Amino acid sequence: MRARPLLAALALSILLPASAQAVEFDPDDAETGAPVADYVSETQHLVNQAMSYLGIRYRFGGTSPETGLDCSGLVQNVFRNAVGLDLPRTAREMASLGNRVTRRDLQPGDLVFFNTMRRTFSHVGIYLGDGQFVHAPAKGGSVRVESMQTSYWTQRFSGARRLVSDEAPSTENLATR
């Protein structure tokens, strides 16, 4: 009784390889895109892009890494180059975009706003995670990372907005792509 299933399995093992056809890989037939190992999320790309600006000098009204950046010029450059979003010119205008985020719900890539000129949303930076953000601080400074936990930034925190998320995309209230 046990011989029949064994014979059937033996017959299949002999016949199946004979009917299989060899298929050659043609790179022209492959879908284009990054290999899985090279995939970087949009938020990680934002963080990487922001970190590439470290050390660029501050310049009031600056919009170019070559001549200097102010806080909103930094954010504009990072979002344009990392994810193709063209943001408005000022921190105040940026504060009306995307979705509001509480301080405890901050995620890397979120915009963080501060009151540094006696008005809300007068300064903007990009949250990096672990209580850190990158920004272009002030005259005489350069793009740098700072802790949001210092008393200076804690007292001046005005709010945060999420423009990019690695979860389901939301096009609500976004700048143009």
Query: Does residue 7 sit within a domain?
Result: no
Tens digits of residue pLDDT in 137-169: 998 899 999 999 999 999 999 999 999 988 744
Q: Is residue 20 in a domain?
A: no
Over the range 115-147, which residues count as b (16 or more CB within 10 Å of their CB) and which as e?
ebeeebbbbbbbbbeeeebbbbbeeeeebbebe
Tokens of 99: 């979705």
The pair of structure tokens assigned to 20 is 């299989």
Residue 167 maps to a domain: no
The verdict on residue 60 lying in a domain is: yes
Residue 26 within a domain? no
Give which of 54, 63, 64, 159 is closest to 113, Cα–Cα: 159
Catalytic residues: 71, 123, 135
Give residue 118's pLDDT: 87
pTM above 0.95, yes or no: no
CATH code of the domain covering residue 149: 3.90.1720.10
35 domain residue, yes or no: no
Residue 80's domain comprises 40-162
pLDDT for 95? 97
| Rounded percentage of the chain residues whose pLDDT exceeds 70 | 72
List the strands of the sheet with 111-114, edge to edge. 99-101, 157-162, 111-114, 123-129, 132-135, 144-147
Model confidence at 20: pLDDT above 80: no
Within a 10 A sphere around the Cβ of 39, how many other Cβ atoms?
9
Instruction: For residues 16-28, give the mean pLDDT.
Output: 47
Please count the structural domains in the chain: 1
